[in-house]
């Protein structure tokens, strides 16, 4: 016997649904704030984690004292931090060269890449719904990248970098799975972020980016919105909803990103853009539907 959510036997807190909605309204601010910052894109990722890190460590301390990581777990946390740093670097650079909506949806494709990993590497048979989702997402992504290429080869490169970020985030999640056996989520997030910070700083310096900002406002907002508030609300709410509900809530992110892109950067979505975005968004919902036993 199974339940639809991990906490289905408990009454849902009144704030769970507002927290889920608010998380998916706040997280799309990330690409906007990266563009508005006056430092390089990788430097913005560095500050995103650096500003949030003291808060993450404070939240992680009780768990780290209760369950100190072993040497193997520290190795996994360091590896996950390196991969996460490369994920953020690819995504933040890609944000500058494609539409905000494209960056958001390509950066959130881990929900589709994980079943693809199971299919191609673990040789697990996908459900019909998963197979349909993968095909639909592939078609939608090709349509979106075709629209970017028509604007500029740089836009296509931006799409590909954001797509690479989605692949790297999938690898990050797979590595984190091994560390989550004994450690709580705050311990893993803090340890991984601690390993990411020096990698991002070295990458920013190697790329010759401007690191020190004149205006700290976008970077502080980026750290608070993307790394603390948005992820914190999502972590709080995620245990109370079915996979379908979580998938549907994710549809808010590309929609909100498209609105931000239109209002702030005059990025209009043409019919092909809207069709491709809708196809990938629908695939993100389909892949979360339970398969028939």
CA angle in degrees (0–180, nearest 5) for 161-163-164: 65
Most confident of 63-72, 101-110, 173-182, 248-257: 63-72
The fraction of the chain above a pLDDT of 70, given in percent, is 69
Average pLDDT, the chain: 78
pLDDT classification of 103: cutoffs 50, 70, 90: confident
pLDDT digits (tens, 9 = 90+) for 145-171: 665 555 567 678 888 898 898 889 888
Distance CA 32, CA 106 (A): 15
243 pLDDT more than 70: no
CA 290 to chain CA centroid, Å, is 22
pLDDT digits (tens, 9 = 90+) for 22-47: 887 888 888 889 999 999 999 999 99
pLDDT classification of 181: cutoffs 50, 70, 90: confident
207 pLDDT more than 90: yes
Angle formed by the axes of helices 271-286 and 128-151, nearest 10° = 160
234 pLDDT more than 70: yes
Which of the residue ranges 21-35, 67-81, 259-273 would you say has the lowest mean pLDDT?
Answer: 259-273
Higher pLDDT, 244 or 63: 63
What does 151-209 look like in DSSP terms, one character per residue? H-HHHHHHHHHHHHHHHHHHHHHHHHHHHTTTS-HHHHHHHHHHHHHHHHHHHHHHTT-
Q: Looking at residue 81, what is its pLDDT?
A: 93
Query: Residue 104: CB partners within 8 Å, gap ≥ 6?
Result: 28, 30, 31, 253, 254, 257
Q: Which residues of 191-221 are buried (b: 16+ CB within 10 A; e: fewer)?
A: bbbbbbbebbbebbeeeebebebeeeebbbb
pLDDT classification of 4: cutoffs 50, 70, 90: very low
101 pLDDT more than 70: yes
Higher pLDDT, 122 or 85: 85
């Amino acid at each position: 016997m199974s339940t639809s959510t991990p906490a289905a036997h408990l009454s849902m807190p009144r704030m769970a649904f507002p927290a889920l909605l608010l998380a998916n309204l706040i997280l799309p601010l990330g690409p906007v704030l990266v563009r508005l910052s006056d430092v390089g894109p990788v430097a913005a990722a560095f500050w995103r984690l650096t500003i949030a890190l003291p808060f993450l460590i404070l939240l992680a301390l009780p768990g780290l004292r209760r369950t100190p990581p072993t040497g193997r777990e520290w190795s996994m946390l360091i590896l996950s931090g390196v991969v996460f740093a490369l994920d953020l670097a690819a995504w933040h650079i890609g944000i500058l060269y494609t539409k905000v909506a494209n960056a958001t949806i390509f950066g959130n494709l881990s929900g589709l890449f994980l079943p693809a990993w199971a299919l191609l590497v673990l040789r697990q048979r996908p459900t019909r719904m998963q197979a349909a989702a993968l095909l639909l997402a592939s078609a939608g992504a090709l349509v979106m990248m075709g629209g970017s290429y028509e604007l500029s080869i740089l836009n296509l490169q931006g799409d590909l970098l954001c797509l690479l970020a989605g692949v790297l985030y999938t690898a990050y999640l797979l590595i984190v799975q091994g560390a989550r056996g004994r450690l709580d989520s705050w311990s893993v997030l803090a340890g991984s972020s601690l390993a990411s910070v020096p990698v991002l700083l070295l990458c920013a310096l190697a790329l010759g980016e401007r690191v020190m900002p004149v205006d700290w406002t976008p970077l502080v907002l980026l750290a608070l919105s993307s790394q603390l508030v948005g992820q914190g609300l999502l972590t709080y709410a995620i245990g109370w909803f079915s996979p379908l509900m979580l998938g549907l809530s994710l549809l808010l992110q590309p929609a909100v990103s498209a609105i931000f892109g239109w209002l702030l950067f005059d990025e209009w979505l043409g019919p092909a853009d809207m069709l491709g975005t809708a196809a990938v968004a629908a695939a993100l919902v389909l892949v979360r539907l339970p398969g028939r036993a």
